[in-house]
Amino acid sequence: MSETRKTIKPEVLGGFRDMLPKEAIVLQRIVDTVRKVYESFGFLPLETPGMERLEVLTGGETDFNKSIFVAKIVRGVEDKDVADADWSDDFALRFDLTVPLARVIAAYPDLAKPFKRYQLGKVWRGERSQAGRYREFYQLDFDTIGSSSLNADIETIQIMYGCLSALGINNFTIKFNTRKVLNGLAQVVNREEKAKEVFRIIDKLDKIGPDGVKRELMREPDNQYDESALNMSEAEADKILRFLSIKSDDPEIILSQLDEFFSDSVGDGQVGVTELRGIALALDRLEIPRRHWKIDLSVARGLDYYCGPVFEAVLDDASELGSVLGGGRFDGLTNRFIADSNIAGVGASVGVDRLIVAMQKLGLIEAKDSLTDVLVTIFDVKFENESMQMAAYFRKAGIRTELYLGEDRTLRAQFAYATKKGIPFVVILGEEEINAGKVAIKDMAARKQEVLTKEEVLAKLVSSKASA
């Protein structure tokens, strides 16, 4: 009696997803478009492992605040007795592509600098999943390592603008700030030692509003171990809200009000205002329309390693999904590998999954089930060699050609297959066409069929592909 195996439900984990061809085609097109923009600025591809040592990712911090996936080996029957001496340390899946980049820079000191790289890769975070946010998702990063010049920060915004424009998105805003201005704010309210907590609360402005920010700033410790409470006075909290109320579509107004805000202070604030002024002037000189960028003092970015300008881009018509592209300057990230190296770095990352959701919502993506330009049918088994040769002829000319391989060889089934996959043209080689040295081609959208020479069919396919 044969053993009956239990069937397993083919479901995906929560926060994870399958990407079927329709979505994978969209992903590929977005990546191809963005990659061309990156390469036009001199960036080169890089690949790093999906798994790193835990201390590489956390920097050895015991209070590391990201939820990440730790890995272990589950031994199979064939090697269950193999010792795990090589797996004695903790390992984890990367939560971004920037920290592994810093490891690469430290591991390969002979890389020419500035080192400009881009990378597409999956990253993993154990956060609660929600619309447009998954526990496993793609990032498409670009970073410039080894340049402290403000021009590198300006170029980062240029690239962000170039990517969104190349994707055919018309309504978007690139918001930017600098951590130096925020450091100056922390100094003004005497919370320099808790600046990261100040940034964390400011970064929540869009979610909890000014009143919520004020409550969190003034929150008293819950107990003696509560080190996150800032316990600000109302006057201190109001000073931060006054800072956050500095808003305008005119960068000169914001810069003037910042000059006034920091007029009595000596520190990072004034340096940060100078940075923002330099970026704004450059963007005007580069003729990047002001409707696509703005200084936004609430932009803090969540990661602790940012130290200068920070950026994020939102689609104006889908702003509720949050930023689809963001980053900033992270000088010194290599310090965890090379003490006091302070190697400069700046870059940004496309949140590919969220961008796909946003573009789908706005109707900016044409979903396709196939990339095929033409389907070559097999009219009869005795003509299959002619069909295969015709398919090879089209492919040699650069036409994406699929030879029908289904079990049902009826023309009706083959036409139905082309319709279901959205293949625009179908070629038929029957005895009559072969004897006449011709080819039948059907335009599936126009429902029009004609008999032409193979050269004429190829010209038609080339023309159609060029106009698509």
Report which residue type is found at 434: I
Please name the amino acid found at residue 436: A
Q: What is each CA distance from 307 to 301, 342, 345, 404, in whole angstroms?
A: 10, 11, 10, 57
CA atoms of 207 and 95, how far apart (whole Å): 23
* C-alpha 196: how far from chain center: 25
* CB environment 167-186: b (16+ within 10 A), e (fewer): bebeebbbbbbbbbbbbbbb
Q: In this structure, are residues 80 and 131 in contact, taking their beta carbons and an 8 Å threshold?
A: no
pLDDT at 274: 96
Residue 143: beta bridge partners? Answer: 117, 347
SS3 track for the chain: CCCCCCCCCCCCCCCCCCCCHHHHHHHHHHHHHHHHHHHHCCCEECCCCCEEEHHHHHCCCCCCCCCCCEECCCCCHHHCCCCCHHHCCCEEECCCCHHHHHHHHHHCCCCCCCEEEEEEEEEECCCCCECCECCEEEEEEEEEECCCCHHHHHHHHHHHHHHHHHCCCCCEEEEEEEHHHHHHHHHHCCCHHHHHHHHHHHCCHHHHHHHHHHHHHHCCCCCCCCCCCCCCCHHHHHHHHHHHCCCCCCHHHHHHHHHHHCCCCCCHHHHHHHHHHHHHHHHHHCCCCHHHEEECCCCCCCCCCCCCEEEEEEEHHHHHHCCCEEEEECCCHHHHCCCCCCCCEEEEEEEHHHHHHHHHHCCCCCCCCCCCCEEECCCCHHHHHHHHHHHHHHHHCCCCEEECCCCCCCHHHHHHHHHHHCCCEEEECCHHHHHHCCEEEEECCCCEEEEECHHHHHHHHHHHHHHC
Look at residue 229 in the predicted model and tell me its pLDDT.
86
Burial category of 446 from C-beta neighbours within 10 Å (exposed 0-12, middle 13-18, buried 19 and up): exposed
pLDDT of residue 176: 97
In single-letter form, the type of residue at position 61 comes to E
Are the C-beta atoms of 168 and 364 separated by less than 8 Å?
A: yes
CATH code for the domain defined by 374-467: 3.40.50.800
Q: What is the pLDDT of residue 85?
A: 57
**How do the pLDDT tens digits run along the chain, 468 residues long?**
556 788 999 999 999 989 899 889 999 999 999 999 999 999 999 999 999 999 899 887 766 778 899 887 776 666 666 665 555 568 899 999 999 999 999 999 999 999 999 999 999 999 887 765 789 999 999 999 999 999 999 999 999 999 999 999 999 999 999 999 999 999 999 898 888 888 888 888 888 999 999 999 999 888 888 778 898 999 999 999 999 999 999 999 999 999 999 998 878 999 999 999 999 999 999 999 999 999 999 898 866 778 999 999 999 999 888 899 999 999 988 898 999 999 999 999 998 988 988 898 898 888 888 999 999 999 888 999 999 999 999 999 999 999 999 999 999 999 999 999 999 999 999 999 999 999 999 999 999 999 999 999 999 999 998 886
Which CA distances in Å does 195 have to 175, 189, 198, 236, 312? 21, 10, 5, 14, 20
pLDDT at residue 46 in the model: 98
pLDDT of residue 195: 85
Give the neighbor-by-neighbor strand order of the sheet with 425-428: 401-403, 374-376, 425-428, 439-443, 448-452
User: Facing residues of 376 across strands?
Assistant: 403, 427
- The string of pLDDT tens digits covering residues 195-246 is 888 888 888 888 899 999 999 999 988 888 877 889 899 999 999 999 999 9
